[in-house]
Amino acid sequence: MHNPYYLPYQDAMKQLSLSTHIHQLQKRQKKYPLHFMQQGSEVYISIVLFEALKDYKAASDYLLALKKGGVK
Protein backbone atom coordinates (compact mmCIF):
# COMPACT_ATOMS: atom_id res chain seq x y z
CA MET A 1 0.00 0.00 0.00
CA HIS A 2 1.25 3.45 -0.79
CA ASN A 3 -0.49 6.25 1.05
CA PRO A 4 1.40 9.55 1.31
CA TYR A 5 -0.12 10.23 4.74
CA TYR A 6 0.82 6.97 6.48
CA LEU A 7 3.99 4.99 7.20
CA PRO A 8 4.35 1.31 8.11
CA TYR A 9 4.11 1.22 11.91
CA GLN A 10 6.94 -1.27 12.50
CA ASP A 11 9.40 0.72 10.37
CA ALA A 12 8.39 4.03 11.93
CA MET A 13 8.83 2.81 15.52
CA LYS A 14 12.18 1.20 14.72
CA GLN A 15 13.34 4.48 13.19
CA LEU A 16 12.51 6.21 16.49
CA SER A 17 13.97 3.36 18.59
CA LEU A 18 10.59 2.89 20.24
CA SER A 19 8.95 -0.38 21.22
CA THR A 20 7.11 -2.29 18.50
CA HIS A 21 5.59 -4.72 21.01
CA ILE A 22 1.90 -5.48 20.45
CA HIS A 23 0.99 -4.03 23.87
CA GLN A 24 2.55 -0.67 22.94
CA LEU A 25 0.75 -0.70 19.60
CA GLN A 26 -2.58 -1.31 21.34
CA LYS A 27 -1.93 1.54 23.80
CA ARG A 28 -1.04 3.92 20.99
CA GLN A 29 -4.06 2.88 18.91
CA LYS A 30 -6.35 3.45 21.88
CA LYS A 31 -4.82 6.85 22.65
CA TYR A 32 -4.68 8.07 19.02
CA PRO A 33 -7.32 6.05 17.11
CA LEU A 34 -7.55 8.44 14.16
CA HIS A 35 -3.84 8.12 13.43
CA PHE A 36 -3.74 4.40 12.72
CA MET A 37 -4.89 2.42 9.74
CA GLN A 38 -4.80 -1.32 9.18
CA GLN A 39 -4.77 -3.09 5.83
CA GLY A 40 -4.59 -6.84 6.06
CA SER A 41 -1.98 -7.70 8.67
CA GLU A 42 -0.05 -4.45 8.16
CA VAL A 43 -0.56 -1.49 10.53
CA TYR A 44 0.17 2.08 9.45
CA ILE A 45 0.74 5.24 11.50
CA SER A 46 -0.05 8.73 10.28
CA ILE A 47 2.88 10.95 9.38
CA VAL A 48 1.39 13.61 11.68
CA LEU A 49 1.61 11.32 14.72
CA PHE A 50 5.01 9.99 13.64
CA GLU A 51 6.42 13.54 13.46
CA ALA A 52 4.89 14.40 16.86
CA LEU A 53 6.43 11.28 18.42
CA LYS A 54 9.78 12.10 16.81
CA ASP A 55 9.72 15.63 18.27
CA TYR A 56 8.61 14.34 21.67
CA LYS A 57 11.37 11.72 21.73
CA ALA A 58 14.03 14.27 20.75
CA ALA A 59 12.90 16.63 23.52
CA SER A 60 12.72 13.79 26.03
CA ASP A 61 16.22 12.58 25.11
CA TYR A 62 17.55 16.14 25.41
CA LEU A 63 15.99 16.62 28.85
CA LEU A 64 17.39 13.29 30.01
CA ALA A 65 20.85 14.33 28.83
CA LEU A 66 20.48 17.65 30.69
CA LYS A 67 19.46 15.79 33.82
CA LYS A 68 22.55 13.60 33.56
CA GLY A 69 24.78 16.61 32.89
CA GLY A 70 25.63 15.56 29.34
CA VAL A 71 24.50 18.76 27.59
CA LYS A 72 26.31 22.04 28.07
Query: What pLDDT, on a 0 to 100 scale, did the predictor assign at position 70?
Result: 75
pLDDT digits (tens, 9 = 90+) for 1-25: 568 899 999 999 999 999 999 999 9
Is 72 a residue whose pLDDT tops 70? no
Read off the pTM. Answer: 0.86
Q: What residues does each domain of the chain span? A: 6-67
Query: What pLDDT, on a 0 to 100 scale, did the predictor assign at position 1?
Result: 58
Sheet arrangement for strand 36-39:
6-8, 42-46, 36-39
25 burial type by CB count under 10 A (0-12 exposed, 13-18 middle, 19+ buried): middle
pLDDT digits (tens, 9 = 90+) for 22-54: 999 999 999 999 999 999 999 999 999 999 999
